């Protein structure tokens, strides 16, 4: 590593405040972690990351400390107290950002603050007779992932998942609620076999959902908008379970199954299915 290409540290005033936190938790985070508080894996020291804690990084004049941050993070800011006697370089290795820290004198100390797009690291640097390889574990991130897994809906079967995915939405309060669906459509069939006729059509004011039978997977129709002059405009759709989902609503449409085989979809002024 070429230490001549280092990131100059922005001067910041170091304000050290002592305080104590009363907690009933058995493993409350410490205010200051020293190297002996870390877990060792080979030559690496592994700290447990907490956003309110400060972590000691030891290195020496003739060596470089290597501090690995969270994989996938991007370093956005580095600020330090002593900008003249410490050199900081950075690099990304296989998606993991690294800090390389080198003191220019023996027996000096300072602090740095490192902001990434996901975390803030408070590091206390000491020039000693040791040098460090440091990384972190992230228990709060793991807990968030665990909670997200617990909140992930568990479906009774594939049919229930398909129904909830198409008929529900996330409410403003974060819960799930039924979409306001419009079922006011009627079908006019021309030469399409009965087992290919859609079983349900509705829209949620944004998308149109056309439920088809299992036989349709061997003969998916082409969907067109039926214009006022009877011209046809092609509409793309995607297949979700047994539904053809078009990312628009329409007044009139045509499902074309082949030459002279089609179904026209038109509005029904009467309420269908009680809606």
Q: Which CATH number characterizes residue 65's domain?
A: 2.60.40
CA distance 142 to 140: 5
Q: Helix or strand or coil: residue 61? A: coil
In this predicted structure, what is the pLDDT of residue 168? Answer: 73
Domain assignment of residue 63, yes or no:
yes
pLDDT for res 141: 81
- What's the alpha-carbon Rg for the chain, to the nearest Å? 31
Domain boundary among 123, 145, 167: 145
Listing DSSP states for 173-192 in one string gives TSSEEE---B--EEEEEES-
CATH number of the domain where residue 195 is located: 2.60.40.2500
**Residue 96: per-residue pLDDT:** 93
The answer to pTM > 0.75 is: no
> Tokens for 175?
């819960």
Per-residue pLDDT of the chain (275 residues; tens, 9 = 90+): 444 444 444 444 333 333 333 333 447 889 999 988 888 888 889 999 999 999 999 999 889 999 999 999 999 999 999 989 999 999 999 999 999 999 999 999 999 999 999 999 999 999 998 888 999 988 888 777 776 665 555 556 676 666 666 767 766 666 666 678 888 999 999 999 998 999 999 988 888 999 988 887 778 899 999 888 888 999 999 888 888 999 999 989 999 998 889 999 998 865 444 44
* pLDDT for residue 270: 56
Query: Alpha-carbon distance 181 to 120, whole Å?
Result: 45
**Do residues 47 and 117 both lie within one domain?**
yes
First to last CA, the chain: 70
Task: Classify residue 98: in a domain, yes or no.
Answer: yes
How many angstroms separate the Cα of 169 from the Cα of each of 131, 165, 181?
54, 8, 11
Range of the domain at 133: 32-145
DSSP 68: E
Q: Are residues 129 and 75 in the same domain?
A: yes
Number of structural domains (the chain) is: 2
Note the pLDDT of residue 213: 84
pLDDT at residue 14 in the model: 37
State whether 40 and 134 are in the same domain.
Answer: yes
With tokens 């030559």, the residue in question is 43
What is the Cα–Cα distance from 258 to 252, expressed in whole angstroms? Answer: 19
Q: Which of 99, 129, 145 is the last residue of a domain?
A: 145
């Amino acid at each position: 590593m070429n230490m001549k290409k280092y990131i100059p540290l922005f001067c910041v005033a170091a304000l050290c405040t002592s305080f104590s936190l009363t907690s009933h938790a058995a493993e409350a985070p410490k205010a200051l972690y020293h190297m002996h508080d870390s877990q060792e894996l080979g030559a690496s020291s592994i700290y447990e990351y907490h956003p309110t804690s400060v972590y000691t990084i030891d290195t020496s004049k003739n060596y470089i400390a290597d501090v690995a941050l969270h994989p996938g993070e991007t370093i956005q800011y580095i600020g330090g107290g002593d900008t003249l006697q410490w050199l900081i370089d950075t690099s990304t290795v296989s998606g993991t950002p690294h800090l390389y820290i080198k003191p220019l004198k023996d027996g000096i100390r300072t602090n740095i603050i490192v902001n990434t797009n996901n975390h803030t690291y408070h590091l206390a640097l000491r020039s000693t007779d040791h040098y460090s390889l440091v990384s972190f574990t992230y228990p709060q991130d793991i807990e968030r992932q665990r909670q997200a897994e617990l909140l992930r809906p568990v479906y009774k079967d594939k049919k229930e998942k398909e129904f909830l995915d198409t008929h529900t939405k996330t409410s403003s309060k974060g819960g799930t609620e039924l979409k306001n669906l419009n079922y006011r459509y009627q079908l006019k069939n021309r030469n399409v076999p009965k087992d290919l006729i859609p079983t349900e059509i509705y829209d949620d004011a944004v998308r149109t959902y056309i439920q088809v039978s299992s036989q349709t997977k061997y003969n998916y129709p082409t969907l067109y908008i039926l214009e006022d002059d009877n011209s046809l405009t092609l509409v793309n759709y995607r297949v979700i379970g047994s539904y053809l989902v078009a990312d628009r609503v329409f007044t009139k449409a045509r499902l074309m199954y082949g030459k002279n085989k089609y179904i026209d979809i038109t509005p029904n002024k009467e309420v269908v299915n009680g809606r």
